[in-house]
Amino acid sequence: MVPIQARMQKVAAGLVAAAVIALLLDWYSPSGPQQPLPHARSFAPEPAPGAEENNLFWLVQVSDLHISKFRDPGRAPDFEKFCTETIDVIQPALVLVTGDLTDAKTKDNIGSDQVEVEWQTYQTILKRSKVMEKTKWIDIKGNHDAFNIPSLDSVKNYYRKYSAWRKDGSFHYIHHTSFGKYSFICADATLIPGPKRPYNFFGILNASQMEELLSLAAESHDSNHTIWLGHYPTSTIISPSPGIRMVMRSATAYLCGHLHTLGGLMPVLHAQHHHGTLELELGDWKDNRKFRILAFDHDLFSFADLDFETWPVVLVTNPKPLLYSSSAHEPLQRILNSTHIRILAFSPSPIKFVKVSIDGIHLGDALHVSGPLYVLQWSPQSYSQGFHQINVTVQDASDKSTTQLHTFAMEENLSLKFGFFPSWLLLADLYIWARVAFALVVIIQIAFLIIFRYLGRPALKGHPTRAMQASLSLHILSKTNLFYYFFLLLSLYTVLGPWFIGEIIDGHMGACFSFGVIVDGHFFQGSITFLVGILQVMFFNIPLMAYLCWCLFLRCQGNCFGSHLHNVKQYHAVPVHLAMALLFSWQIYSCFFLLQTYGAMAFFLSPLRTWIVGLTLFLVYRSWTMNSSTLKTFIVQIKNNQSS
Ligand X SMILES: *[C@@H]1O[C@H](CO)[C@@H](O)[C@H](O)[C@H]1NC(C)=O
Provide the binding-site residues for ligand X, judged by CB under 6 A: 47, 55, 179-180, 192, 206-209, 224, 298-299
Nearest approach, Cβ of residue 173 and ligand X (Å): 17
Phi, psi of 115 (to 5 degrees): -110, 115
The nearer residue to ligand X, 206 or 469, going by C-beta atoms, is 206
The nearer residue to ligand X, 180 or 348, going by C-beta atoms, is 180
Give exposure, 383-402, as e/b (b: 16+ Cβ within 10 Å).
beeeebebbbbbbbeeeebb
Give exposure, 123-134, as e/b (b: 16+ Cβ within 10 Å).
bebbeebebeee
Q: Is 246 exposed, middle or buried (0-12, 13-18, 19+ CB in 10 A)?
A: middle
Nearest approach, Cβ of residue 296 and ligand X (Å): 7
Q: Which residue is nearest to ligand X (CB)?
A: 180
Nearest approach, Cβ of residue 23 and ligand X (Å): 35
Instruction: Determine the Cα–Cα distance for residues 472 and 148; give it in Å rounded to an integer.
Output: 50
The nearer residue to ligand X, 171 or 624, going by C-beta atoms, is 171
Backbone angle region of 180, left / alpha / beta, with phi > 0 → left and psi within -120 to 50 → alpha: left
The nearer residue to ligand X, 33 or 45, going by C-beta atoms, is 45
The nearer residue to ligand X, 182 or 553, going by C-beta atoms, is 182
The nearer residue to ligand X, 192 or 315, going by C-beta atoms, is 192
The nearer residue to ligand X, 19 or 207, going by C-beta atoms, is 207
Contact 387, 407 (CB under 8 A): yes
The residue ranges of DSSP E strands in 220-379, in sequence order, are 225-229, 237-238, 253-256, 270-272, 278-281, 290-297, 300-307, 313-318, 340-346, 351-358, 361-365, 367-370, 373-377
Instruction: Determine the Cα–Cα distance for residues 48 and 45; give it in Å rounded to an integer.
Output: 7
Nearest approach, Cβ of residue 358 and ligand X (Å): 25
Contact 193, 149 (CB under 8 A): yes
Nearest approach, Cβ of residue 189 and ligand X (Å): 10
The nearer residue to ligand X, 231 or 298, going by C-beta atoms, is 298
Instruction: Determine the Cα–Cα distance for residues 61 and 87; give it in Å rounded to an integer.
Output: 11
HSE-CB at 441 with a 13 A cutoff on CA atoms is 21
Nearest approach, Cβ of residue 214 and ligand X (Å): 14
The nearer residue to ligand X, 180 or 419, going by C-beta atoms, is 180
Nearest approach, Cβ of residue 103 and ligand X (Å): 24
Dihedral, 261, 263, 264, 266 alpha carbons, nearest 10: -50
Nearest approach, Cβ of residue 559 and ligand X (Å): 59
Nearest approach, Cβ of residue 297 and ligand X (Å): 8
Instruction: Determine the Cα–Cα distance for residues 255 and 230; give it in Å rounded to an integer.
Output: 6
Instruction: Determine the Cα–Cα distance for residues 261 and 120; give it in Å rounded to an integer.
Output: 27
Nearest approach, Cβ of residue 42 and ligand X (Å): 7
The nearer residue to ligand X, 295 or 476, going by C-beta atoms, is 295
Nearest approach, Cβ of residue 208 and ligand X (Å): 4
Nearest approach, Cβ of residue 153 and ligand X (Å): 12
The nearer residue to ligand X, 140 or 192, going by C-beta atoms, is 192
The nearer residue to ligand X, 153 or 307, going by C-beta atoms, is 153
Instruction: Determine the Cα–Cα distance for residues 196 and 199; give it in Å rounded to an integer.
Output: 7
Instruction: Determine the Cα–Cα distance for residues 54 and 12; give it in Å rounded to an integer.
Output: 60
Contacts of 148-153 with CB under 8 Å at 24 or more apart are: 148/104, 148/112, 148/113, 148/114, 148/194, 148/195, 148/196, 148/505, 148/506, 149/114, 149/192, 149/193, 149/194, 149/505, 150/193, 150/194, 150/505, 150/506, 150/507, 150/508, 150/520, 151/192, 151/193, 152/192
User: Facing residues of 390 across strands?
Assistant: 358, 406
